[in-house]
A = this chain, B = another copy of it.
């Protein structure tokens, strides 16, 4: 890895942290350059445009999510254990990744949902990826016999997303310490409602 890629990676690390606080659209080149300890134009040269920088930050954040939330959950057995791990990791991956703020993807989803363009597309693609990953885990849980055969996978994922979003709002806006317990409670209720009948 040459010097260029090295500093680019360092920039992106600072960028993810800053974006978690001020959002991807609030991320300015000047502020980021200050934080990274380099000149505005020097940093700018790595991306060529602000939009390209935003896309790079989104990609980098997604990689972090995969590293801290997705990959660790693969160590669990397919089915309910893995789904539960996915959910708990998802709820606290920003802390694990030592981000000072919220998940950049989620913030960006709110900032760009009415701003057509490549950034919006990237955000949508990233979150769709997350939903697909969840859907897969749910499907595996059905196949493993941990959830009922007639489980509506997309509906199940929809409700998982809701739990996650409610937890983030409770935790970040209201500083509610019960956010995670509430989320886990909702998750367990969801699972209970989809438990296969006793007699196999």
Chain A contacts to B: CB under 8 angstroms: 20-23, 25-26, 100-102, 106-107, 109-111, 113-115, 123-124, 127-128, 154-155, 158-159, 161-167, 169-170, 172-174, 178, 182-183, 185-186, 189, 193
Nearest chain-B residue to A20 (Cβ)? B114
Task: State how many copies of this chain the complex holds.
Answer: 2
How many angstroms from the CA of A87 to the CA of B185 in the assembled complex? 21
Is the CB–CB distance between A170 and B182 below 8 Å? no
A-B contact pairs, 15 of them (CB 8 A): A20-B114, A21-B114, A21-B115, A22-B115, A25-B26, A26-B111, A100-B114, A101-B114, A109-B169, A123-B173, A155-B182, A158-B170, A162-B167, A165-B169, A189-B193
The 8 closest A-B pairs by CB, nearest first: A162-B162, A162-B166, A165-B165, A113-B172, A110-B110, A101-B114, A161-B166, A21-B114
